Amino acid sequence: MSSYAAKKSATTPVTMGITVGVRDLRDHLSAYLERVKAGEVFTVTEHGRPIAKLVRDDPGSARLLELAAQGRVTLPTGPRVRWADIPHVRYDGSIQDLMDEVRGE
């Protein structure tokens, strides 16, 4: 077995974020799903190009969908924004003061 194949095998330990080809994923799907359940993340590639991420389902997502069905929350319509990408604004008052200002109170 080549070192490349060893890195992509579903039965060998790897670090999070490894890439896996569609064929290898298909051939070892059960093993990959067990690893995903354990918290590993895989980027699925087709002809060397990333096409999907294989990640464990967020346990809170079922509850979020339930709340959305009840009309108690609104689901996002765009991609998730990373915390690091959100511009930070300095404010010298309290959070309550800021909320009052935003609400026009």
Going by DSSP bridges, is the β-strand pair 42-46/49-54 parallel, antiparallel, or unpaired? antiparallel
Specify if 80 maps to a domain.
Answer: no
Confidence category of residue 30, pLDDT binned at 50, 70, 90: very high
CATH assignment of the domain containing 44: 3.40.1620
Q: Tally the domains of the chain.
A: 1
Specify if 69 maps to a domain.
Answer: no
Specify if 79 maps to a domain.
Answer: no
Helices (H), the chain: 3-8, 22-27, 29-37, 59-69, 95-103
pLDDT number for residue 85: 87
Task: At 38, give phi and psi (nearest 5°).
Answer: -80, -5
Specify if 33 maps to a domain.
Answer: yes
Specify if 47 maps to a domain.
Answer: yes
Distance CA 33, CA 21 (A): 14
Specify if 27 maps to a domain.
Answer: yes
Structural domain of 22: 3-54
Specify if 41 maps to a domain.
Answer: yes
Higher pLDDT, 47 or 58: 47
pTM: 0.44
Specify if 73 maps to a domain.
Answer: no
Q: Is the pLDDT of residue 52 over 80?
A: yes
